[in-house]
Amino acid sequence: MILRLENVSKSFGALKVTDGVTVSVRRGEALGIIGPNGAGKSTLFNLITGNLLANEGRIELLGRDVTRAPAMDRVRMGVGRSFQIPQPFEGLSVFENLLTAAAFGRGGREAEMVDDCARILEETELLRKANVLAGSLSLLDRKRLELARALATGPELLLLDEIAGGLTEGECKALVATIKAIHAKGTTIIWIEHVLHALTSVVERLLVLDFGRVIGIGAPDAIMVSQQVREIYLGLEV
Amino acid sequence: MYRLTTRTRAGTATEIAVIVLVVAGLALPAVTSRGVIQDLFFILTMLTLAQIWNLLAGYGGLVSVGQQAFVGIGAYAMFAGVILLGWNPVAAILLGGLAALALAVPTAFFAFRLQGAYFAIGTWVIAEVTRLLIAQWKALGGGTGTSLPREATSNIMGTDAIRTLFGVREAAARDILAYWLALALVVAVTGCIYWLLRSRLGLALAAVRDNVDAAQAVGVDVRRLKWAVFLIAAAATGLTGALIFVQTARISPEAAFAVTDWTAYVIFIVVIGGIGTIEGPIVGVLVFFALRSALADYGSWYLMTLGLAAIAVMLFAPKGLWGLISARSGLHLFPVRRRLAGPKIEGGH
């Protein structure tokens, strides 16, 4: 297992946003996470990355207990992430965004990372804009940069947070193709997404969250026909 | 196939110009008056403080309004070294840096628990507390302050050689020595900041400034970086404070911990010149000195004009005067941007 969450909970005051989540992710797997807004999906990502610390439970990464480990330790262990709302380093160029991620995520010298950053920029169709300031990018390019920067950290486990949201059908297709290529190289992916057709074209399992609890996990086909999931997530009367 | 470049023609030209200016600056006392040397000392020390504050706020995102604490403690430590330990004033400047570093540790411990405006106010409060405590130190004059002893100021290392070299009196020789030290300090501080920004840490600083969460998500140790920047800035500010008061040879808590002199003017210089660039404080200090000279006789109008000028720049040129110049000309005298050069890149060849 690359990741194992055991009875993980997180509260903000009286509000429990993650409630006893238990899930394991195999190395090389692609797991999708769905759930209504406010279900605690992004909080779960923040708990995995260390941006938030769990109140209860245990998180294991590559067999090591990282429940109290800071975010940067987890990055260096191979956890890369994108943010739901793109958060580029706006005062840096696209290339410098990747260079920062590569230099600190992997702990190497800048000069050694140049070719790898260029390769990632090419894969994510950002190479042409390498020297453009990140603050001046369009939404699509910001999403691409989120993905590219996460890849630059050299992740074994890639967490994607609604990376297809707000994109046109064509843009979404291109992004899915890129994510499939990354997954095909063996990178484990956990992907939160509302664009279900994009998500189900990549992931092998779906996990459904509601009010911070796991209400279903399994193959996408089985999950999507589940009565409880259809009621809660899709809002359908069954 | 791909290359990383930071060098530009403007950057190389700046490096040559800096060397020429430093050599000319060292020789300047031979051809100019004591008044000019004193003005240059003021400009160089204010520029040093501005570059340090720019590192803190413009790159590190640490908007401190309590830098007067480090100027003051640095100056008082130098006085303590001279009066209580019998050190030579020039050697005692180093004590100023060490004392500021020591004060920065508890300051950071408390202030880093605060964010944004609360951090700024917190640093100010700590500076005021330090001023009140220092005012209780009777051996250094308490609330009214004290002067460097005559035997210490007449025996500063190097002044005899300067007197012989330039044929000047003791007081003028002391000014020349202080000016040379200020020149060395500003070159060292600016050079170190330039080196820092071109190093790996420069990327981390920019990342933290732009987005702390994202910086953590790519592996930047935000906490350690902020501590490092704060401590380095404090030590350099302490050295500068000690040097300023070697030149004045007189100290009081009000003068050494003056928020207007050591923080408000410094912020004005950085904001008006352009925050987040090395060029900005250089432009800012020249504008500040010009305004100060022109309005010196107009009392409170001087401060009001500075305030209006700062507001005008913030409204019409939020990146400062250098930001305006740089946006129009594309000029970067101290280039820190890494460019990817290679095929398929816009402007990559």
Look at residue B251 and give its three-state secondary structure: strand
CB contact under 8 A, B348 and A131: yes
Contact B108, B289 (CB under 8 A): no
Q: Which of residues 213-232 of A touch B (CB under 8 A)?
A: none
The three-point CA angle A97-A94-A113 to 5° equals 55
CA distance B82 to chain A (A): 45
| Angstrom distances, CA of residue A61 to CA of A179, B31, B229 | 22, 69, 32
Q: pLDDT tens digits, residue range A85-108?
A: 999 999 999 999 999 999 999 988
* Contact call for B345 and A130, based on CB within 8 A: yes
- How high is the pLDDT of residue A237? 54
Distance of CA B238 to the CA centre of its chain: 10
Q: What's the pTM? A: 0.87
Residue closest to A107 by CA, chosen among A82, A72, A83: A72
| Alpha-carbon gap: A227 to the closest alpha carbon of chain B (Å) | 37
**With 0-12 CB in 10 A as exposed, 13-18 as middle and 19+ as buried, what is A217?**
middle
- Could you tell me which residues come within 8 angstroms of residue B211 by beta carbon, excluding any fewer than 6 positions away? A87, A88, A89, A90
Measured between alpha carbons, how far is residue A9 from residues A40, A210, A211, B110, B140 in Å?
10, 13, 11, 30, 57
Closest partner residue to A81 (CB to CB) among B200, B217, B337 is B217
- Closest-CA distance of chain A to residue B258, Å: 33
Q: Which residues of chain A have pLDDT under 70?
A: 234-238
Alpha carbons B237 and B190: distance in angstroms, whole number: 13
Chain B residue with the nearest C-alpha to that of A97: B207
Low-confidence ranges of chain B (pLDDT < 70): 347-349
pLDDT at B349: 45
Q: Do B200 and A87 touch (CB under 8 A)?
A: no
Torsion of CA B124, B126, B132, B135, to 10 degrees: -100
Please give the DSSP secondary-structure letter assigned to residue B199. Answer: S
CATH annotation of A1-78+155-238? 3.40.50.300
- Model confidence pLDDT, tens digit, residues B194-227: 999 999 999 999 999 899 889 999 999 999 999 9
Q: Looking at beta carbons, which residues of chain B come within 8 Å of A75? A: 216-219
Q: pLDDT averaged over chain B? A: 93
Q: How far, in Å, CA of B287 to CA of B24, rounded?
A: 22
Supply the DSSP symbol for B146. E
- Cα→Cα distances B274→B19, B164, B211, B327, Å: 24, 42, 20, 12
How far lies A140's CA from each of A91, A101, A151, in Å? 18, 20, 17
Q: Domain ranges in chain A? A: 1-78+155-238, 87-154
Distance from C-alpha of A11 to C-alpha of A17, rounded to nearest angstrom = 6
Give the whole-angstrom CA distance, residue A217 versus residue A222.
9
- Write a three-state SS string for chain A: CCEEEEEEEEEECCEEEEEEEEEEECCCCEEEEECCCCCCHHHHHHHHHCCCCCCEEEEEECCEECCCCCHHHHHHCCEEECCCCCCCCCCCEHHHHHHHHHHHHCCCCHHHHHHHHHHHHHHCCCHHHCCCEHHHCCHHHHHHHHHHHHHHCCCCEEEEECCCCCCCHHHHHHHHHHHHHHHHCCCEEEEECCCHHHHHCCCCEEEEEECCEEEEEECHHHHHCCHHHHHHCCCCCC
The pLDDT score that the predictor gives to residue A236 is 60
- Chain A residue with minimal CA distance to B348? A131
Contact: A72, B221; criterion CB under 8 Å: yes
Residue A103: list chain B partners with CB under 8 A.
200, 203
Q: Which residue has the tokens 């600056």?
A: B25
**What span, in angstroms and rounded, lies between the C-alpha atoms of B239 and B96?**
5
Q: What domains lie within chain B, and their CATH numbers?
A: 3-259 (1.10.3470)
